[in-house]
């Protein structure tokens, strides 16, 4: 076993992991942070998307020990009840969630986009969300929500 030290949503943690433990397993099973979902576990569906040092990654195929000393952001750190992040508000206002399984990953992918490109075009939003699958919405409302949130202050 190895000791992994990392920050998640601003809080420091120290956990024991194996050489092949994934970041997703650490978040869900060790820390009880369950917004990142277990979907495909092959890096395809994006339901586990989180930010590591501001960069979008798929937690299911991120070896936990490569996150040593880094900062992870999940939806739990994005906003709070009563103080939602503009993206969360926009998703709410545009009915961008149906079953909700993909939503945390969508939010994090959208956050990564807006951090780098605050005023994206519709095409750029689609490209940024291309690694996140949604089987309910047909994507239109999700893209609408991201465009609506673009430019608003976090």
Site residues, another protein (CB under 8 A): 1-2, 18-22, 41-44, 46, 49, 55-58, 60-63, 65-66, 68, 109, 112-113, 127-128, 130-132
- Name the helix (H) or strand (E) containing 149: helix 140-149
Structure tokens given for 48: 């586990």
Pick 93 or 116: Cβ nearer another protein = 116
Least Å from the CB of residue 141 to another protein: 19
Would you say 8 or 56 has its CB closer to another protein?
Answer: 56
Rg, Å, the chain Cα set: 15
DSSP secondary-structure letter at 65?
A: G
Least distance to another protein from the beta carbon of 89, Å? 23
Could you give the 3-state DSSP secondary structure of residue 13?
A: strand
Q: Which of 19, 112, 101, 100 is nearest to 66 (CA)?
A: 19
Query: What is the rounded CA–CA span in Å between residue 27 and residue 140?
Result: 30
Nearer to another protein, 60 or 82 (CB): 60
Which residue, 113 or 146, is less far from another protein as judged by CB?
A: 113
Give the shortest CB-12-to-another protein separation in angstroms. Answer: 19
Q: Which is nearer to another protein, 4 or 97 (CB)?
A: 4
Q: Nearest approach, Cβ of 83 to another protein (angstroms)?
A: 27
Cross-strand partners of 5: 14
Do the Cβ atoms of 84 and 92 come closer than 8 Å?
A: yes
Least separation in angstroms between CB 139 and another protein: 12
Q: Judging by DSSP bridges, how do beta strands 55-58 and 71-73 pair with one another? A: unpaired
């Amino acid at each position: 076993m190895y000791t992994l030290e990392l920050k998640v949503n601003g809080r420091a943690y120290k956990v024991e992991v194996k050489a092949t433990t994934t970041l997703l397993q650490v978040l869900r099973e060790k820390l009880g942070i369950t917004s990142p979902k277990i979907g495909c576990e092959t890096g395809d569906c994006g339901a586990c998307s989180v930010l590591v040092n501001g960069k979008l990654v798929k937690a299911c195929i991120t070896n936990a020990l490569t996150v040593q000393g880094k900062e992870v952001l999940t939806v739990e750190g994005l906003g709070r009840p009563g103080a939602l992040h503009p993206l969360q508000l926009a998703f709410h206002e545009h009915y961008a969630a149906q079953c909700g399984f993909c939503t945390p990953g969508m939010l994090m992918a959208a956050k990564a986009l807006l951090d780098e490109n605050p005023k994206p075009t519709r095409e750029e939003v689609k490209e940024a969300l291309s690694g996140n699958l949604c089987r309910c919405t047909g994507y239109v409302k999700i893209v609408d929500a991201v465009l609506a949130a673009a430019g608003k202050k976090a």
